[in-house]
Amino acid sequence: MVKFTRRGFHKRSLAALASFIGISSSSMVSNSSANNPIPLILDTDIGDDIDDTWALLMLLRSKAIDTKLITTDFGNTRYRTRLLAKILHSIGYGTIPVGIGLDATDKAGNQSEWLGDYQLEEYPGQIYEDGIQALIDTIKQSPEPVTLLCIGPVMNIAEALRRDPSIAKNARFVGMHGSIRTGYEGEAKPAIEWNVKVDPKSLQTVFSAPWECSITPLDTCGLVQLKGDTYQKVFQSRDAWMKVLMDNYRMWLPKVTWLDPKPDFRLMSSTLFDTVAVHLAHSEEFLVMEDLPLRVTDDGYTVIDEKNGRTVRCATAWKNQSAFEDKLVEIMSSEVS
């Protein structure tokens, strides 16, 4: 695994970062451990696909990560924040600050059955009505560079950069975005990936900022689905966190319109795209990484463009997918990361 010291990253100037990004970001992978966790902000569109819920619990049980703030993205963000707050409250993590993203509507979503009538006033921790400003302040006030982990469309991040471009001096971007050589379910041609498709201009803005960018595209994250004995370790777990997860999964599945056929809740997970981004936030183990010149097209493709692309560190293949899935289950079911 290629690593870099966060101290070295912190000392780089904005100009040096911009110059370096044009060459390679391979030496800027975070060096983290349980004794030296990386400060991180999660930006999530939780409440549509269940993989955000898996990723949230994986994140909070990964001891190499110190979650400073969680913001909700991609519209209907009051619903998303209520769901996020109830999950955090239910697992004893109600002290994590939470920020409401753009378009703070509160319409019913795919996990509303589990959410019930839980209200933000019940959450014991800090709720920021302006989640974008909370994100900006958290980055700028951090004594160490912040990893910005984005597992949905990046509308909040584009707005944060518009308000204060200087946040790029003290942050790195890690996302679940795009499709480089393969599409959904391993299809042998690139696809327009959802997190890019719904707002390509926001990802264009993110990629134009002078910070390190790393992504897991569909080439890797689109292949992760737990089955068999591996899945049963989570499904049959009596752990309180896993009960929250499985209750959400069971109530979410009938609401989903894009899965055909739908997975059998008792036998397998849905595709767990976002869990790979959580892993990539602190480690490149199990992944084949490439520094590629990427350009985001206006219709939502992430294409290799030697002339006009910017260097993005991409997880383009698996070294050992089954080992990652075993690690994921270990983290989820036994609180060991």
Whether residue 230 lies inside any domain: the answer is no
Note whether residue 335 is domain-resident. no
Query: Is the residue at 241 inside a domain?
Result: no
Residues in the chain with pLDDT < 70?
A: 1-34, 335-337
In the structure encoding, which two tokens stand for residue 11, read together?
Answer: 């000392």
- Here the tokens at position 315 are 């997880």
Tell me, what's the pLDDT at 126?
Answer: 98
Query: In terms of residue numbers, what domain contains 217?
Result: 6-225+271-321
The 3-class secondary structure across 53-121, one letter per residue, is: HHHHHHHHCCCCEEEEEEEECCCCHHHHHHHHHHHHHHCCCCCCCEECCCCCCCCCCCCHHHHCCCCHH
Residue 301 lies in a domain: yes
pLDDT at 31: 56
Distance CA 62, CA 206 (A): 26
**Whole-structure pTM value:** 0.91
Which pLDDT belongs to residue 333? 81
Whether 258 maps to a domain, the answer reads no
Q: Is residue 136 part of a domain?
A: yes
Q: Is there a domain that residue 43 lies in?
A: yes
Specify the number of domains making up the chain.
Answer: 1
Q: 175 forms bridges with which residues in the sheet?
A: 150, 215
- Whether 328 maps to a domain, the answer reads no
Closest C-alpha to 65, from 35, 45, 93: 35
For residue 47, the domain's CATH number is 3.90.245.10
Which residues pair with residue 40 across a beta bridge?
Answer: 67, 147
Q: What is the pLDDT of residue 13?
A: 36
